[in-house]
């Protein structure tokens, strides 16, 4: 059944939501203009803008697992310096495999506890393992780079998920 009053209320709610989004965008633009005019005076405003758009604003307490994985990766890169000798090479290959398994578990725990995972993380880890097995290239700190890349991917996915969640809340409020 067609109800003109409900239709009018829905249109008003949509218009109010659009006006609120426009007002928020204008406030952000004014804050950016203020910052450009006098950057020293508006450090607090700059921090607020940076915090809302920063990738590292998505850090969580469960990121300790990523830090542990980063420490293990650094240890693996230090161990790769001992692969010059034949015995050292065999030991480094075994330790690399064990450390990558450990890193995989740490990343898995971090993703399960904090969210933001995906198949791309596993592919990065697999690529890093293969890279570390190559004799000449393994002297580079590739393991540390792989763990940092995985952490950045997780932060990007968390930010994307937070934006989707924020958008869905805004849509729900506009219908209410």
> Reduced to 3 states, what is the DSSP secondary structure of residue 134?
coil
Residue that wins the pLDDT comparison between 174 and 129: 129
Query: Which residue matches tokens 């950016």?
Result: 32
User: Is 66 within 8 Å of 98 (Cβ atoms)?
Assistant: no
Q: Tell me how long the chain is.
A: 176
Q: Taking the alpha carbons of 172, 174, 175, 176 in that order, is the dihedral positive or negative?
A: positive
Q: Which residues contact 62 (CB under 8 A, 6 or more apart)?
A: 109, 110, 113, 114
Residue 105: pLDDT above 80?
yes
User: Is 31 within 8 Å of 51 (Cβ atoms)?
Assistant: no
Residue 102: pLDDT above 80?
yes
pLDDT tens column, 133-169: 777 777 788 888 888 988 888 888 888 877 777 777 7
pLDDT tens column, 53-76: 555 666 667 778 888 999 998 888
Model's pTM, two decimal places? 0.60
Best CA proximity match to 112, nearest among 101, 120, 104: 104
pLDDT tens column, 32-61: 676 566 555 555 545 554 555 555 666 667
């Amino acid at each position: 059944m067609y109800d003109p009053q409900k239709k009018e209320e829905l249109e008003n709610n949509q218009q109010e939501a659009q006006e609120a989004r426009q007002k928020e965008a204008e406030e952000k633009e004014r804050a950016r203009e203020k910052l450009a005019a006098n950057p020293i005076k508006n450090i607090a405003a700059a921090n607020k803008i940076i915090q809302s758009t920063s990738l590292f604003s998505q850090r969580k307490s469960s990121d300790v697992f990523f830090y542990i994985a980063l420490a293990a990766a650094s240890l693996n890169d230090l161990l790769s310096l001992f692969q010059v000798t034949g015995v050292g090479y065999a030991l480094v290959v075994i330790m690399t495999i064990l450390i990558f398994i450990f890193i995989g578990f740490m990343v898995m725990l971090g993703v399960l506890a904090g969210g933001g995972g995906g198949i791309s993380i596993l592919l990065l880890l697999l690529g890093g393992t293969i890279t570390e097995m190559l004799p000449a290239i393994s002297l580079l700190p590739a393991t540390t780079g792989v763990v940092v890349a995985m952490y950045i991917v997780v932060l990007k996915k968390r930010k994307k998920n937070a934006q989707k969640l924020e958008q869905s809340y805004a849509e729900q409020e506009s219908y209410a």
